[in-house]
Amino acid sequence: MSVVLDVENLKTYFHTEYGLVKAVDGVSFHINQGEIIGLVGESGCGKSVSILSVMQLIQSPGEIVDGKIMFEGQDLLQYEANGPQMRATRGRKMTMIFQEPMTSLNPVITICRQMTEILELHLDMDRHTARERAIELLRMVGVPDAASRIDDYPHQFSGGMRQRVMIAMAISCNPMIIFADEPTTAVDVTTQAQLLELMKDLVTRINTSLVIVTHNLGVVARYAQRIYVMYAGRIVESGPAEDIFDNPQHPYTIGLLDSVPRLGEKHGSKKLIPIYGLPPNLINMPPTCAFLPRCTYKTEKCEKEPWPALRSTGDNHYISCYVDVRGKQ
Amino acid sequence: MKEPDNDLMVEVKNLKMYFPITRGLLKRKVADVKAVDDISFYIKKHETLGLVGESGCGKTTTGRCILRLYQPTSGNIIFAGKDISNMREGKLKPLRSNMGAIFQDPFGSLNPRQIAGSIVGDPLKVHDMATGSELDDRVAELFQMVGLDPTMKDRVPHEFSGGQRQRIGVARALACRPSLVICDEPISALDVSIQAQIINLLEELQEKMGLTYLFIAHDLAVVQHISERVAVMYLGRIVEITTSEELYENPLHPYTKALFSAIPIPNPKIEKTRTHIVLKGEVPSPVNPPTGCHFHPRCHMAVEECSRERPPLRDIGGGHLVACIRV
Ligand SMILES: Nc1ncnc2c1ncn2[C@@H]1O[C@H](COP(=O)(O)OP(=O)(O)OP(=O)(O)O)[C@@H](O)[C@H]1O
Ligand SMILES: Nc1ncnc2c1ncn2[C@@H]1O[C@H](COP(=O)(O)OP(=O)(O)OP(=O)(O)O)[C@@H](O)[C@H]1O
Ligand SMILES: [Mg+2]
Ligand SMILES: [Mg+2]
């Protein structure tokens, strides 16, 4: 398996009036070709900022302050965010699908024009060819009557259909990587299932890597091959999906898995085990582990030492924790 | 005449709630949104009935009809033995204190300028249930009951976290010691790690105070966890009702099956061996719903007859009700 993207020690900070928000604070991850990755974590832990940083879409007051983003043998951070190299990469080799398609689709431009614009720009197609290709793409993502509906405006489509358009646009230039940021949070479960199955089939067909950003553990269990768990701007655990669910080793991951009800559990048979306390705000973070105040496994060492670096605990499985939780659960 | 069944907190009979769509200056009615289209169910005392279904299927409307925030188009709502479906506001008011409601959005449902203490205490004042120091004591007690420090009572909503705000909502709903609480998506807006805190809180309070819940949510796993029985809605109608366990072990309606299958389980091993039913098409509009069974255009089991007549919700044994002629 070849690595298509290798992110090393990425740091993205926001200079706000309340102080410095360390939204992403030393994140490393890689993506293999054709792989489906799950990036999970609670609201505000830095999932979107990580992805936006890779695409160099961070705007003031945000700033990428450190790190390397290796893609096709080059460090993308050496390029201007709006320079020619990034423009040839973003939207072409790396694409994004957002949570709310209305924010990324232009409401006053037809679906057709939005799609053909990309094809003309990146693939040098003429208008006619681009239109034919756009119709074909809409068919691929399951938009009924694609040929007649392509001239509609986004608001004439339902939420699920708009998300299909976003998927069509994301695959239109055969990208190497698709980042899907909470692609199904705004839609219903049966629509979510339709869209995720569709994405899975498409990326397998065109051999693209897919990163699914979500807080839904079920979604990553169903679709991801490898998982990164984020907490407070860092990766706290990573590994093959089955291993993470069978054998979670970071107290936060363990807590997350214990706190969600499972389908089919008998009513009243089991109390949920919540994670007490709150996720930290990312200003003035203490040097120690950010999960410490909520951790039920903490030791004296945790109170004294800085945030632990990632360490291997087995096959491709990494955690950022001093404690060996095995046997303590 | 039959005596009112004393085991029942709520009984809903043939409830319809249509919202007119009007056009033009004269507000001529051109169509109806059939948000709730003839549904019947009951909730026993001290029980939690879960109500699941996808966006727009009529869950919130059902809850609001029970609270009589809406005047139903037709049908009956019997609350604690009294038919409240056409009751006038004056007579309703004392009954209202016996019902509480918790809403989805802990941000939007609280007045941003009101301090937490008065948000929680307001219902007590409205219903003349406490004043002065008695009110303060009760508010402090309510804060403690939901796990909030009473010294935080002078803060305004934005000074609380999402989970804390939802606790304020719970405290307000319980202020008048209601028997019935309508929980409309009470955890959907919360972080995963906070959701369990609120679910546990609701369960504890139910046990302590003998509460009856209508628990509305679209997350079937959460609904199953908290409910004794679950009703599944599709496009304004109830398609299946049974106990949580039976619904999981033996779902009968093709829509219920699809809904279960669509929910990913946080266990990759189970996921690998599960069959995934992917529904075709989208939920049709409640303005112009399909004829016969509302689900028939998307149903893989549908036969010609399904498009002709509405299938009745019938008991197939042991109180398992399903509205499908194919099972
Ligand atoms: N423009 C901004 N200005 C200041 N802070 C920001 C800005 N954008 C993001 N942040 C902060 O960066 C942190 C990470 O945000 P991010 O959007 O990456 O979270 P997330 O993990 O995607 O959460 P969610 O699940 O809610 O989408 C948050 O604490 C957020 O408040
Ligand atoms: N006051 C109203 N006027 C007109 N139509 C309404 C009104 N309230 C609800 N509706 C419509 O009635 C239908 C049912 O809405 P309802 O809010 O009950 O659905 P729901 O099941 O609670 O959905 P969600 O999961 O999105 O909260 C929808 O089509 C909605 O647009
Ligand atoms: Mg995000
Ligand atoms: Mg609702």
DSSP string, B132-148: HHHHHHHHHHHHHHTT-
- Domain match, B256 and B267 both: yes
Cα–Cα distance measured from residue A329 to residue A296, given in angstroms and rounded to the nearest whole number: 10
Q: In total, how many domains does chain B have?
A: 2
Give ipTM to 2 decimals: 0.84
> Which residues in chain B have their CB less than 8 angstroms from residue A160's CB?
282
Residue B123 belongs to a domain: yes
My answer on whether B276 and B205 are in the same domain is yes
At B322, the amino acid letter reads: V
Give CA–CA dist A118/B23, Å, rounded: 40
CA–CA min distance A91, chain B (Å): 29
Same domain, B171 and B191: no
Q: Is B286 domain-assigned?
A: yes
Q: Is the CB of A22 under 6 A from ligand 1?
A: no
One domain for residues B232 and B253: yes
- Residues contacting A15, CB < 8 A, separation 6+: A61, A62, A63
pLDDT averaged per 10 residues in sequence order, chain A, 329 residues: 94 93 96 96 92 95 97 96 94 90 85 96 95 96 92 90 93 96 83 91 94 93 96 97 95 94 76 86 90 95 96 94 82
B63 CB within 6 A, ligand 2: no
Token pair in block for residue A72: 């096709």
Same domain? B140 vs B34: no
Per-residue confidence (pLDDT) for residue B4, from 0 to 100 = 52
Comparing CB atoms, the residue among B54, B258, B282 nearest residue A158 is: B282
Given an 8 Å threshold on Cβ–Cβ distance, is B282 in contact with A275?
no
- Is residue B103 assigned to a domain? no
- The rounded distance, in Å, linking the Cα atoms of B13 and B238 is 12
* CA pair distance A157, B260, nearest whole angstrom: 26
At A314, list the tokens. Answer: 């087995």
**Is B105 within a domain?**
no
For B191-205, letters b (16+ CB in 10 Å) and e give bbbbbbbbbbbbbeb
Q: Which ligand is nearest to the CA of A50?
A: 1
Q: Are residues B51 and B191 in the same domain?
A: yes
- Closest A-chain CA to B277: A193
Per-residue pLDDT of chain B (327 residues; tens, 9 = 90+): 444 557 999 999 999 999 998 888 888 888 999 999 999 999 999 999 999 998 889 999 999 999 999 999 999 999 999 999 999 999 999 899 999 999 877 677 788 899 999 999 999 999 999 999 999 999 999 999 898 889 989 999 888 878 888 899 999 999 999 999 999 999 887 888 888 989 999 999 999 999 999 999 988 899 999 999 999 999 999 999 999 999 999 999 999 999 999 989 889 988 888 888 888 888 888 999 999 999 999 999 999 999 999 999 999 999 999 999 999
Of A42, A192, A197, the CB nearest to B191: A42
| Burial (0-12, 13-18, 19+ Cβ within 10 Å), B104 | buried
Q: Minimum-distance ligand to the CA of A39? A: 1
Last residue of a domain, one of B153, B176, B199: B176
Q: Are residues B142 and B211 in the same domain?
A: no
List the domain range (segments joined by +) for residue B154.
117-176
Identify the burial level of B166 via C-beta atoms within 10 angstroms of its C-beta, where 0-12 means exposed, 13-18 middle and 19 or more buried.
buried
Give the Cα separation of A120 and A112 in Å (integer): 12
Given B157, B176, B195, which residue is the final one in a domain? B176
- Contact across the interface for B193 and A256, Cβ inside 8 Å: yes
pLDDT, tens only, B142-174: 999 898 889 989 999 888 878 888 899 999 999
Residue B189 has a pLDDT of 78
Q: Please, what are the domains in chain A?
A: 3-108+153-319 (3.40.50.300)
The answer to whether the peptide bond before residue B312 is cis (omega within 30 degrees of 0) is no
Nearest CA to ligand 1 atom 3: A14
| Ligand nearest the Cα atom of residue A216 | 1
User: Do residues B94 and B186 share a domain?
Assistant: yes
Q: Supply the CATH number for residue B28's domain.
A: 3.40.50.300
Residues B85 and B188 in one domain: yes
In a domain, residue B108? The reply is no
Nearest to A264 by CA among B270, B48, B320, B283: B270
Report pLDDT for A328. 67
Q: Is B324 in the pocket of ligand 2 (CB under 6 A)?
A: no
Nearest CA in chain A to B282: A191
> How far is Cα A43 from Cα B190, in angstroms, rounded to an integer?
9
**Ligand 2 pocket residue status of B57, Cβ below 6 Å:** yes
- The type of residue at A225 is Q
* Shared-domain flag, residues B170 and B82: no
Q: Within this chain, do residues B219 and B272 fall inside the same structural domain, yes or no?
A: yes
How far is residue B144's CA from residue B127's CA, in Å, rounded to a whole number?
22
B301 and B222 fall within a common domain: yes
- Secondary structure letter of residue A75 according to DSSP: E
Q: How far is the CA of B173 from the centre of ligand 4 (A)?
A: 18
CA-A188 nearest atom, ligand 2: 25
- Element (H or E) spanning B99, and its range? strand B99-102
Using alpha carbons only, what angle is made at residue B288 by residues B286 and A144, rounded to the nearest 5 degrees?
Answer: 95
Determine the residue of B32, B61, B67 to mutate for testing ligand 2's pocket, defined as the one with the most ligand atoms within 8 A of the Cβ atom: B61
How far is Cα B127 from Cα B99, in angstroms, rounded to an integer? 12
Indicate the helix (H) or strand (E) that contains B173. Answer: helix B162-174
Q: Is B131 exposed, middle or buried (0-12, 13-18, 19+ CB in 10 A)?
A: exposed
The shortest CB-CB distance from B278 to any of A194, A221, A255 is to: A194
Closest CA to B117 of B160, B151, B147: B151
Asked if the structure places residue B84 within a domain, the reply is yes
Q: Say whether A272 and B196 touch across the interface (CB within 8 A).
A: yes
Residue B110 lies inside a defined structural domain of this protein: no
- DSSP string computed for A192-259: HHHHHHHHHHHHHHHT-EEEEEES-HHHHHHH-SEEEEEETTEEEEEEEHHHHHHS--SHHHHHHHHH
At residue B1, the pLDDT reads 44
Domain boundary among B151, B176, B201: B176
